[in-house]
Structure 1
């Protein structure tokens, strides 16, 4: 029985990056032997165990055989005679198919170290084409390792997989899991570019794919192309270390521009309502967490008016604050402002512009929240007039503050 450190821990150590998670492959063992040594089983489809002390994952070496479409159509075989190379051969990329033995020796049967040096994402072998999730993983690694390129033969294989319809069998939860992880990487735009280059974006997220080539007024959008603008916005969200909900909102905020009739281009009057509907539909399709779904819809609907705060009357400002539920949920409204700042600054030459709209909204919100609604309610003889009195007091406070 031999244990080998595998995958990301080996890769990241060779790159000089911090090693966060350590995964192990066990060769020459049976599940009974693992249980006898105190390992706790956690795998559902194949034998995976937690170390009794470190809680790190130890998986029995295994092979897999394709039995159906999609990423769940596999039969796994784990047995003492399965070799380490057999196990590594089923992995996605060469940089993830390396191992170290217990003496620290590197085992690299597929040239992963060479591809690390060449800054190249290359598939291990033809079995890559059997699992469409691997397209998402390659895109996610492109977002993580911004100076790596996808090998031409790997991109060609991914395109073939899309044409063959493998991507259409991905389940929504799995797509969301990979998209969410990719959005949290340093260069999330690269994930979208890789998905688009291989044709997968049009199948997974057609609402986003069709934004590429849609023009915008150059005086407001020097990048002109709506799809390119979205990519710059999500990279701005990454550069400012925004949480996932903000990054998801940034990705979906302009989906409605794909609905603009051709005769109106490059203008997109009223696109916010269409964007909110699209953002809701996409979020529901992928079954994203409520926090992400709600913020995406809110930002899509309100980002236009948030940017024009200097033009708004105090009464309109208060209406927007109330519509966003900002008085009860100021932390979420702060996320709305963060996403809108990424929208404004995610354009060529706009990156260093100050965030004047956000400062104005914060001042307005502070003034509105300072109004003592309880006192107004107690002093109001006609209870039917309480909401109007509170609203009027907030408008007066915001007017004074701005």
Structure 2
């Protein structure tokens, strides 16, 4: 045990009686940062949870009542994220419990009087910014800890200790180890993707041999050269695109980050050589389906899966050559904007191959400028000029698909500036304007 500075006064005021702060929460507090989640070992977890909930205005949930596991969820305050406190029974031998943990910097327990229980030298590794396993057997006991090694290395900015790196790399190839639950894998990947160094995290997964297990479609892009506008293989380009996205849009949401990372996973299965040229015909459609399957396996919410798949399917759309095309683009793809533009920009900026030159970059920038102008002029969908009933009466249509086609055609004509009022809409429809335009895709 080592004497440390006392915990901050606000924390001491809510400290559960007889409890110790353990694991990542103790680690973060000792390194001077505020934990997002608090892990307590308390003599009476239920009583401690009820007192915490009363003091913090939170709610108590029994995670496992028989084992005495409880959680207190505290509502978000202003811009702060909602925080949670997990409480478990205080073990008879605290040191034995800490020795079963994954890494030395997590095998720490902070006491109210400032004493730190540190049986593995975690404080020394914390000071050295070093991620070191407690024991290889602990990694084997829970293979998710291999993925956590990459996540913690990136999010904490700690270097993997050489023996730990070797063990993780070796165990990543051991297919006899059980696969972690998809939901646990998903949460680790989320932490990586949402970090400012997300692209470095993906590269570390590759270096440690973990990419093949958790994102095999992405790993298949290794060594798949492209040429043309690309100077990197498919895998390298995907990581660089994610880097470009986060660099330009630090607040990019999770779905957009997933879409950017996975936008070209359809290239390896669609690669064709013809007349000395390499083609990836339809890779965006194949990639959208592969991404959907992978994210569903990770138990991502349906909304996230749908958005990622739609973004990937649309990322190869040509940029508009004039204002009218820009207005049509915005009208047809409004649900994906502005995320689709961010993905397309990141894709382009990650491609610096021999076909990329000043003229092509200028043309691309002009297309973007047209889209941004059109998006500014069409900030939100407007109420229809004519209702479905009015359309059916005007065109003598029965309920069915043709009504939907007429509604969409009229909405696009309005977005393009061809009609501006209900009267103009009637004239346009009766005058043969519909269905002269292409059906929105």
TM-score normalised over the length of structure 2: 0.71
**Alignment partner for residue 197 of structure 1, among 207, 215, 237?**
207
1:137 counterpart SS class: helix
Residue matched to 1:149: 159
2:235 paired residue among 216, 227, 247: 227
Unaligned runs of 5+ residues in structure 1 are 63-81
Q: 1:320, 1:383 → 2: CA distance? A: 30
Q: Distance in 2 between matches of 1:84 and 1:392?
A: 67
Q: Is the 8 A contact 2:260 2:347 kept in 1?
A: yes
Give the number of equivalent residue pairs: 367
Does residue 19 (structure 1) correspond to residue 35 (structure 2)? The answer is: yes
C-alpha RMSD over aligned residues: 3.8
Alignment pair present for 1:340 and 2:344? yes
Deviation at 1:56, TM superposition (A): 3.0
CA separation of 1:52 and 1:250: change in aligned 2, threshold 3 A? closer
Q: CA deviation at 1:293?
A: 0.7
Q: Distance in 1 between matches of 2:25 and 2:90?
A: 17
- Pick aligned residue for 2:395 from 370, 382, 400: 382
Residue 58 of structure 1: SS of its match in structure 2?
strand
Q: Counterparts in 2 of 1:12-51, with a 5 A limit?
A: 12-26=28-42, 29=43, 42-44=62-64, 46-50=67-71
Q: CA deviation at 1:104?
A: 0.7
Structure-2 residue corresponding to 1:291? 303
Q: Report how far residue 343 of structure 1 moved.
A: 2.4
Structure possessing the higher radius of gyration over alpha carbons: 2
DSSP 3-state at the match of 2:300: coil
Q: Taking structure 1 as reference, are residues 52 and 230 closer, same or farther at Cα in structure 2, changes over 3 Å only? A: closer
Uncovered stretches (5+) of structure 2, i.e. residues with no partner: 1-16, 54-59, 75-82, 398-402, 420-441
Give matches, 1:69-80, under 5 Å.
none
Shift of 1:145: 2.6
The aligned residue for residue 75 of structure 1 is none
Aligned to 2:432: none
CA contact (8 A) 1:371 1:394 kept: no
* Aligned twin of 2:287: 275
Compared CA separation, residues 36 and 317, structure 1 to 2 (3 A): closer
Q: TM-score, normalised by structure 1?
A: 0.77
CA pair 261-176 structure 1, distance change in 2 beyond 3 A: same
Partner of 2:196: 186
1:140 equivalenced with 2:180 (yes/no):
no
Rounded to whole Å, the distance in 1 between the matches of 2:35 and 2:383 is 52
Which stretch of the first structure deviates more once superposed, 191-200 or 359-368? 359-368
TM-aligned CA deviation for residue 205 of structure 1: 1.6
Shift of 1:361: 2.5
Counterpart Cα distance in 2 of 1:361 and 1:158 = 46
The answer as to whether partners of 2:46 and 2:70 remain within 8 angstroms in 1 is: no
User: Shift of the alpha carbon at 1:267?
Assistant: 4.2
CA contact (8 A) 2:270 2:283 kept: yes
Find the counterpart in structure 2 of residue 76 from structure 1. none
Q: Are the counterparts in 2 of residues 61 and 87 from structure 1 also a CA contact under 8 Å?
A: no
Q: CA deviation at 1:105?
A: 1.9
Greater shift, 313-322 or 238-247, is seen at 313-322
Alignment partner, residue 140 of structure 2 = 129
Q: Tell me which residue corresponds to 2:430.
A: none
Contact 1:318 1:395 in 2 (8 A): yes
Tell me the distance in 1 between the aligned counterparts of 2:351 and 2:156: 23
User: 1:260 touches 1:271 (CA, 8 Å); kept in 2?
Assistant: yes
Aligned residue among 102, 114, 117 for 1:92: 102
CA positional deviation for 1:25 = 1.9
Q: Which of the residues 104, 115, 123 maps onto 2:125?
A: 115
In 2, distance between residues paired with 1:144 and 1:231?
A: 17
Q: CA deviation at 1:202?
A: 0.9
CA shift, 1:90, in A, is: 1.5
Q: Give the CA deviation at 1:46.
A: 3.5
